[in-house]
Structure 1
Amino acid sequence: MIAKRFRVPRWAVRRGPGLALVGAIAIAAAACGEPVEPTAQAQGERQEGPIVVDVAVATAAEELGRTYTGTTRPARQVSLRSQAEGRLLSLTRDVGDVVQQGQVVGSLDSVLLQSAVGEARAELAARQFEVAQAEAELADIRTSIEDARVRLQQASNDAQRLATLAAQGAVSAQEAEQAQTTVVTSSQALASSQEQVRTRQQAVAAAQQRVEAQRSILQETQQRLSFANLTASLSGVVLERVAEPGDLVLPGEAVLTLGDLSQVLVVIEVADSNLSEFSVGQSVQLVIDAFPSETFEGQVTRISPVADSTSRLLPIEITVANPGGRISSGLLARVTSTGSRTDGVVIPENALGQDETEDNQIFVVTDTDGTPVVEARTVQVGDRADGQVTILSGLTAGEQYVVRSSQPLESGQTVELSLTSEG
């Protein structure tokens, strides 16, 4: 025979006197496949008399401190990247090794880089020869200018003398005119030589600029040759070894990850509603699982203004001094806030929803002519943690409320306080 599916009534599982037998009968009957109604006697026991309830007294919320978890990491962390292309010949440091700033930790194959330096040197020598050649040509032109100036002066003197003799009739007018033509020709030769000087000066300047450009190229190739030696950019420890000897390394590729562990950062994520617990410069206490018997002191150094788009939590950075580098990277840390004063009261979370349809409702116990009566009240719920919930409004300190009841409650119902009730 296949057992029928059944649903146990809510009142059958409530704790209280007189219902254990009813619940047992209902469960047994359902298991046998026969619906059984509670007996009149059992119904009378459930309906007659006040409902037994456990009652507690609402107390004001104390100053609460929360614990946040984070992971340690170096205060400074950099990737040692290659600045040149080449095959990685050696890498002398591994994860956990200590390095000093400027220390050589690896090297690249430098054959191609050395060839580039040699080519740059040869090209620089060629450019310098061009400058020397242009300067020699300029010197020759300047010498020719002096010769042209002397010839012009001589032609001017001859023309003046022949012009005087022609006026006296000692020489013909034709000779005097030829002398004057010679003066004009010498003047043009001088002007041409001077123009050549300006042209050659510009050629020398251009050649000198090419020399400077080539000298910069040589310096650049020499600098790239120096990049064949990989040097640590900070003092710390090796956190990760990315490349291995024999790998072809391109410019910008990471080889090692280095971290400065003289200080460590612990990053925690905090809801915006709890940001008042932290401020920049605040001292906080934290424990690290790797050192369970020690308490460390840190300082809040940064509160991010941008929350995570998924969790809606804001990262907070806490800096912890780490003399001797005892605290490693990647350790679990627990930060306890000093807490903040919360208005309202704190009650057990299971006190909510005594009415199945209301999750933010509690039943408050009032005294009516010496008889305890329950009143349904809607409350504003705050933080929930460790089985406790903060009631922001709807319940005040000193009021009695129902923690548990033997049966479902209704507003205005008479109840009986259990022996374990407070107040």
Structure 2
Amino acid sequence: MATDIKDNGHPRRWRNESHRPWLGSILLVALALLGSGCRGWQEPTALAQPQPSTEEAGPIVVDVATAQAAAAEARSYTGSTQPVRQVSLRSQAEGSLLNLSYNVGDTVAQGQVVGTLEQTLLQTAVGEAEAELAARQFEVTRAEAELADIRTRINQANLDLQQARNDAQRLRTLANEGAIAEQTAEQAETTLGGAQQALTSAQEQVRTREQSVAAARQRVVAQQAIVQETRQRLSFANLTAPLSGVVLERVVEPGDLVRPGEAVLTLGDLSEVVVVIEVADRNLSDVRLGQSATVTIDALPGETFRGQVTRISPLADRTSRLVPVEITLPNPGSRIGSGLLARVTGLGTTTNAVLVPESALSVGEGGGQGGRPGGGPGSAPSGGGNNGQATGQGGAPGNQIFVLQPQGDVFVAAPRSVQIGERSDGQVTVLAGLSPGDRYIVRSGQPITPGATVQPSLLSD
């Protein structure tokens, strides 16, 4: 019941407060009955409806892509240019450096005199050696003269012996006939014996003198070698270039005392240039002897040079596992200097690689939504997602991709073991096992098993 009253001249509707609890109770009961009736209608239907199996649900809808060849990008290496040959000009004699005519960067020819040493001491040594040689030669001359005298005495002794033998025979005959005294014959025989001894002694002296002459001659030969050596040392006072090239380093300055074996200049042959780079041991299979490479020099912008791999070091650095590799390139006119920064490309180009999303490696391990349950991309497979399939060529389990194979009017998923390379920004390089043009499964809302029937989604290539 409502009554209109006026408050300050304005009408106002008044409601009886006792009616409000009764109305709310009625509304609550109605809503409860309505909810219970709806549940009683839905629950029997839900319990009676069977769950569909995968086979009854039809093919699995998957995202499919066509394999595209990865961009063939050659690895780039940096190194420094070096002469094809580099030698140090070292002094072979001791002396003060008088002059050094060439500086770093100057070109020298083989055999050209580039500096001189003080020659006074060397000339003195040559004079002493020559004087000693003259003395030795005089000894030979004197020994030969003595030998000649002895040989003359031998000739005379032979004559005396022959005369004494004749006299002894004649006197012995006369003494036997009684013509002369026996004593005279005996004296003649004694004279014969003395002549024989004189001849034997002279012969022994000849042998001794001959040995003395031979020894003197050997001393002369030895002294001649010493003279030649000292003269050679004197010639070493002129420092000559051992090869044609460019002066790379000037070690000493005029006025310095230079000792034998001490470096004076460093020379380099720049008719060819060698670029030394360091290659990681895992990439060494991409490099071979005789392989061509492209070289650019920062000091010569806009120019490219062609070189060849001429040496691969058999030893790698134990810490960095880097292997030195030498690349030789021609250098007409010696335009390329030593120690310049060089960039080498054209080694280790990958031409058959395919770039795929990392999710393609996990479509058989829990749905392939860009990752794996319980781990990120690249983690080991869990459960039976791989269905016992073989591992990839890379040696890590789970390196496989499902490719599409037509079977009648439908497609089936076939596992393909692959060899993977580098991973970057959610992409992985497939080195082997997948070819450009193959259609593969990128991702799936359900785990894929070998032989499963699949259907490309509308988002597929």
Shorter-chain TM-score range: 0.7 to 0.9
Q: TM-score, normalised by structure 1?
A: 0.73
On the 8 A contact 2:276/2:326 being kept in 1, the answer is yes
Which secondary structure state, in structure 2, belongs to the residue aligned with residue 293 of structure 1? coil
The alpha-carbon deviation at position 65 of structure 1 amounts to 1.8
The alpha-carbon deviation at position 294 of structure 1 amounts to 1.1
Could you tell me which residue of structure 2 aligns to residue 373 of structure 1? none
Could you tell me which residue of structure 2 aligns to residue 390 of structure 1? 429
Alignment of 1:269-280 (within 5 A): 269-280=278-289
Alignment of 1:208-247 (within 5 A): 208-247=217-256
After the TM superposition, which of the residue ranges 274-283 and 140-149 deviates more from structure 2? 274-283
Could you tell me which residue of structure 2 aligns to residue 360 of structure 1? 378
Could you tell me which residue of structure 2 aligns to residue 282 of structure 1? 291
Aligned residues: 355
Alignment of 1:366-377 (within 5 A): none
Could you tell me which residue of structure 1 aligns to residue 440 of structure 2? 399
Which secondary structure state, in structure 2, belongs to the residue aligned with residue 399 of structure 1? strand
Mapped partners of 2:207, 2:65: distance in 1: 107
Q: Alpha-carbon deviations, 1:161-198, whole Å to 9, x = none?
A: 10110111011222212211111111111011011001
The alpha-carbon deviation at position 313 of structure 1 amounts to 2.5
Which secondary structure state, in structure 1, belongs to the residue aligned with residue 301 of structure 2? strand
Q: Alpha-carbon deviations, 1:361-400, whole Å to 9, x = none?
A: 4998999xxxxxxxxx998652357996424579886435
Q: Give the letter aligned to residue 112 of structure 2.
A: Q
Q: Give the letter aligned to residue 121 of structure 1.
A: E
Alignment of 1:244-393 (within 5 A): 244-337=253-346, 339-341=348-350, 345-347=354-356, 354=371, 357-358=375-376, 360-361=378-379, 381-383=420-422, 389-392=428-431
Q: Give the letter aligned to residue 354 of structure 2.
A: V
Mapped partners of 2:218, 2:425: distance in 1: 77
The alignment status of 1:124 with 2:133, answered yes or no, reads: yes
Could you tell me which residue of structure 2 aligns to residue 133 of structure 1? 142
After the TM superposition, which of the residue ranges 308-317 and 101-110 deviates more from structure 2? 308-317
Which secondary structure state, in structure 2, belongs to the residue aligned with residue 201 of structure 1? helix
Q: Give the letter aligned to residue 283 of structure 1.
A: S
Q: Give the letter aligned to residue 141 of structure 2.
A: A
Mapped partners of 1:319, 1:72: distance in 2: 9
The alpha-carbon deviation at position 279 of structure 1 amounts to 2.9
Q: Give the letter aligned to residue 178 of structure 1.
A: Q
The alignment status of 1:197 with 2:197, answered yes or no, reads: no
Which segments of 5 or more consecutive residues in structure 2 lack a partner in the other structure? 1-62, 362-369, 380-398, 405-415, 449-457
The alpha-carbon deviation at position 332 of structure 1 amounts to 1.4
After the TM superposition, which of the residue ranges 84-93 and 336-345 deviates more from structure 2? 336-345
The alignment status of 1:143 with 2:152, answered yes or no, reads: yes
Mapped partners of 1:286, 1:410: distance in 2: 51
After the TM superposition, which of the residue ranges 226-235 and 283-292 deviates more from structure 2? 283-292
Could you tell me which residue of structure 2 aligns to residue 168 of structure 1? 177
After the TM superposition, which of the residue ranges 321-330 and 389-398 deviates more from structure 2? 389-398
The alignment status of 1:95 with 2:104, answered yes or no, reads: yes
Mapped partners of 1:287, 1:350: distance in 2: 39
Q: Is the alpha carbon distance of 1:259 and 1:148 closer, same or farther for their aligned partners in structure 2, counting shifts above 3 Å?
A: same
Could you tell me which residue of structure 1 aligns to residue 75 of structure 2? 66
The alignment status of 1:181 with 2:190, answered yes or no, reads: yes
Q: Is the alpha carbon distance of 1:338 and 1:116 closer, same or farther for their aligned partners in structure 2, counting shifts above 3 Å?
A: closer
On the 8 A contact 2:175/2:185 being kept in 1, the answer is yes
Q: Give the letter aligned to residue 258 of structure 1.
A: L
Mapped partners of 2:178, 2:214: distance in 1: 55
The alpha-carbon deviation at position 308 of structure 1 amounts to 2.8
The alpha-carbon deviation at position 259 of structure 1 amounts to 0.8
- The structure showing larger relative contact order (alpha-carbon pairs under 8 Å, at least 6 residues apart) is 1
The alpha-carbon deviation at position 315 of structure 1 amounts to 2.3
Q: Is the alpha carbon distance of 1:150 and 1:175 closer, same or farther for their aligned partners in structure 2, counting shifts above 3 Å?
A: same
Q: Give the letter aligned to residue 215 of structure 1.
A: Q
Q: TM-score, normalised by structure 2?
A: 0.67
Alignment of 1:99-114 (within 5 A): 99-114=108-123
Percent of aligned pairs with the same amino acid: 65
RMSD between aligned alpha carbons? 3.6
Mapped partners of 2:116, 2:72: distance in 1: 59
Mapped partners of 2:425, 2:241: distance in 1: 48
Q: Give the letter aligned to residue 65 of structure 1.
A: A
Larger Rg: 2
Q: Alpha-carbon deviations, 1:89-130, whole Å to 9, x = none?
A: 211111111111111111112221111111111111111111
Which segments of 5 or more consecutive residues in structure 1 lack a partner in the other structure? 1-53, 368-376, 403-408, 413-418
Mapped partners of 2:432, 2:218: distance in 1: 82
Q: Alpha-carbon deviations, 1:311-345, whole Å to 9, x = none?
A: 22322222111111111111111121264446653
Mapped partners of 1:385, 1:332: distance in 2: 29
Could you tell me which residue of structure 2 aligns to residue 115 of structure 1? 124
Which secondary structure state, in structure 2, belongs to the residue aligned with residue 245 of structure 1? coil
Q: Is the alpha carbon distance of 1:138 and 1:385 closer, same or farther for their aligned partners in structure 2, counting shifts above 3 Å?
A: farther
Which secondary structure state, in structure 2, belongs to the residue aligned with residue 127 of structure 1? helix
The alpha-carbon deviation at position 350 of structure 1 amounts to 11
On the 8 A contact 2:401/2:418 being kept in 1, the answer is no
Q: Alpha-carbon deviations, 1:120-161, whole Å to 9, x = none?
A: 111111111111111111111111111111111111111011
Could you tell me which residue of structure 2 aligns to residue 46 of structure 1? none
Q: Give the letter aligned to residue 134 of structure 2.
A: A
Q: Give the letter aligned to residue 122 of structure 1.
A: A
